[in-house]
């Protein structure tokens, strides 16, 4: 790693740490004013952002990115407006900082309370989607945190403009330099250094695929919250309403295949496979989906490619789905718990006992009965904007909204008590 780049990253960490102290006590009106200006500045920079994004799209095609990943990368007027509107939506959300979670009086007269407080400095490492730059910055700011952003090389031009614009807006509103910063280098060793910035980062949030997850697990010394890995399943039970199941599977796979809550594997009970799979596979292939199936699936439906063992663990993020016929509900549950990433899993069944068994036994952040996995989203759950979907179990699990970007502290009031 270039030594000068390392010094720049350290300087960014120092600035972020200083900014975090100011943000921790910033009032809600100041933070909302910054968010408003960030939205305004984004809209004013629309043409500049689109031009930068066009360069990223060109580079992405040269890199061989799939159509689904290029779709995630693309920005246009409507998506820039959506970014700005997302910041305005964060303005309208309640400020979590200072929320009193509990308070009680001890027999000795001490008043012991617990309140929400900012985490401090949050580092985000993310891939492909440049809108994350604005979304993540807005959420961290409202929760009283400084943020250090490092996007993927495929979105470097878009991220540079967006980060510069929203940082300028935050400063114009009265927040300090260092509130929002972009790690503006493609040096991968710099990412490893960022994962080990214990003196400056309080929390790391990676958003990306298996490669990023592996790098974080192997290298990070900063505490992290893993998000975004989505090998999601839909299981069609023997008691499923097959018409309902077809609509849910189509939505879960096809509506937006490039996102982490899209279905990647379809499991079907053997009792309904012959009635369900021929039409389901025909519908999926008609929508451009490549189907990789087990031997039973291949025997039932035409045009199905043979699945390999690796397919059961694959997050395609594309118009591809793995299909397996299972013996019973227990095999479906075991398959999901073995191959799933703990993101979103769905059962389609009209049998109360089977639904209850699935909901209780499947280990995931979101478990659905007769609903598409595409609903795993902060807005859809009524929480407002979110940072990502946490697939781990400590501190935060599922959609990470403003409250998940805070920690807590105890406040104790006394009147001279000693122990």
pLDDT at 38: 98
User: Residue 329 pLDDT > 70, yes or no?
Assistant: yes
Lowest mean pLDDT among 148-162, 235-249, 342-356, 376-390: 376-390
Distance from C-alpha of 238 to C-alpha of 216, rounded to nearest angstrom:
40
Distance from C-alpha of 417 to C-alpha of 109, rounded to nearest angstrom:
8
Q: Is 383 helix (H, G, I), strand (E, B) or coil?
A: coil
pLDDT at 213: 84
- CA angle (263, 368, 384) in 5-degree steps: 85
Percent of the chain with pLDDT over 90: 84
Q: How far is CA 132 from the centre of its chain?
A: 9
Q: Considering only residues 6 and 374, tell me which one the structure prediction assigns the higher pLDDT.
A: 374
pLDDT at 21: 97
- Across the range 154-169, mean pLDDT stands at 97
The tens digit of pLDDT for each residue in 203-217 reads 999 987 778 888 999
Distance from C-alpha of 162 to C-alpha of 136, rounded to nearest angstrom:
12
pLDDT at 393: 82
**Domain 3-227+400-413 CATH superfamily:** Aldehyde Dehydrogenase; Chain A, domain 1 (3.40.605.10)
φ, ψ of residue 414 in degrees (nearest 5):
-135, -175
| Domain definitions of the chain by residue range | 3-227+400-413, 232-375
Q: How confident is the model at residue 257 (pLDDT cuts 50, 70, 90)?
A: very high
The tens digit of pLDDT for each residue in 133-154 reads 999 999 999 999 999 999 999 9
Do residues 89 and 382 make contact, with C-beta atoms less than 8 angstroms apart?
no
Distance from C-alpha of 76 to C-alpha of 53, rounded to nearest angstrom:
9
pLDDT at 210: 77
User: What CATH number belongs to 232-375?
Assistant: 3.40.309.10
Tokens of 377: 């989203």
pLDDT at 384: 73
Residue 349, CA distances (Å) to 262, 300, 356, 357, 360 in order: 19, 21, 10, 11, 15
pLDDT at 282: 97
pLDDT at 259: 87
Lowest mean pLDDT among 17-26, 317-326, 376-385: 376-385
User: Residue 397 pLDDT > 70, yes or no?
Assistant: yes
The tens digit of pLDDT for each residue in 262-315 reads 999 999 999 999 999 999 999 999 999 999 999 999 999 999 999 999 999 999
Bridge partners for 124 per DSSP: 149, 205
Residues sharing a CB contact under 8 Å with residue 194, sequence separation 6 or more, in sequence order: 9, 123, 125, 148, 150, 183, 201, 204
Residues sharing a CB contact under 8 Å with residue 3, sequence separation 6 or more, in sequence order: none
Distance from C-alpha of 283 to C-alpha of 370, rounded to nearest angstrom:
19
pLDDT at 146: 98
The tens digit of pLDDT for each residue in 62-83 reads 999 888 788 889 999 999 999 9
In the chain, the N- to C-terminal Cα span, in Å, equals 53
Residue 35, CA distances (Å) to 19, 185, 289, 330, 401 in order: 16, 26, 40, 48, 16
- Across the range 350-361, mean pLDDT stands at 98
- Mean predicted lDDT score pLDDT of the chain: 94
User: Residue 1 pLDDT > 80, yes or no?
Assistant: no
- CA angle (356, 357, 361) in 5-degree steps: 120
Model pTM score: 0.85
């Amino acid at each position: 790693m270039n030594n000068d780049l390392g010094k720049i990253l350290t300087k960014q960490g120092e600035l972020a740490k200083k900014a975090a102290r100011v943000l921790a006590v910033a009032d809600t009106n100041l933070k909302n004013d910054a968010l408003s200006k960030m939205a305004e500045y984004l809209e004013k920079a629309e043409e500049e952002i689109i031009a930068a994004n066009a360069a990223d799209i060109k580079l992405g095609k040269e890199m061989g990115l799939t159509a689904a990943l290029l779709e995630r990368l693309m920005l246009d007027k409507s998506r820039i407006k959506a970014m700005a509107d997302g910041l305005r939506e964060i303005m309208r959300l309640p400020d979590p900082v200072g929320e009193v979670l509990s308070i009680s009086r001890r027999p000795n007269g001490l008043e012991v309370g617990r309140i929400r407080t900012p985490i401090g400095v949050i580092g985000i490492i993310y891939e492909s989607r440049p809108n994350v730059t604005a979304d993540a910055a807005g959420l961290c700011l409202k929760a009283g945190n400084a943020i250090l952003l490092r996007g993927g090389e495929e979105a470097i031009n878009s991220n540079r403009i967006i980060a510069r614009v929203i940082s300028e807006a935050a400063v114009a509103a009265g927040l300090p330099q260092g509130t929002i910063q972009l790690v503006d280098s493609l040096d991968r060793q710099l990412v490893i250094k960022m994962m080990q910035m214990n003196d400056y980062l309080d929390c790391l949030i990676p958003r990306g695929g298996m490669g990023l997850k592996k790098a974080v697990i192997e290298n990070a010394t900063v505490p992290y919250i893993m998000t975004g890995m989505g090998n999601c399943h839909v299981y069609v039970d023997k008691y499923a309403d097959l018409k309902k199941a077809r609509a849910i599977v189509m939505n879960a796979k096809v509506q937006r295949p490039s996102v982490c809550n899209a279905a990647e594997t379809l499991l079907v009970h053997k009792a309904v496979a012959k009635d369900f799979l021929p039409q389901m596979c025909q519908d999926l292939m008609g929508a451009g989906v490549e189907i990789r199936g087990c031997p039973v699936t291949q025997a039932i439906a035409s045009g199905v490619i043979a699945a390999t063992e690796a397919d059961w663990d694959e997050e395609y993020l594309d118009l591809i789905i793995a299909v397996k016929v299972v013996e019973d509900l227990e095999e479906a549950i075991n398959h999901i718990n073995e191959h799933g990433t703990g993101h979103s899993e769905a059962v389609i069944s009209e049998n109360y006992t089977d639904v209850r068994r699935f909901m209780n036994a499947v280990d995931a952040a979101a478990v659905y009965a007769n609903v598409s996995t595409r609903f795993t989203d902060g807005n859809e759950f009524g929480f407002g904007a979110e940072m990502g979907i946490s697939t781990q179990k400590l501190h935060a699990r599922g959609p990470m909204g403003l409250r998940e970007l805070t920690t807590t502290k105890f406040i104790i009031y006394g009147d001279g008590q000693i122990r």
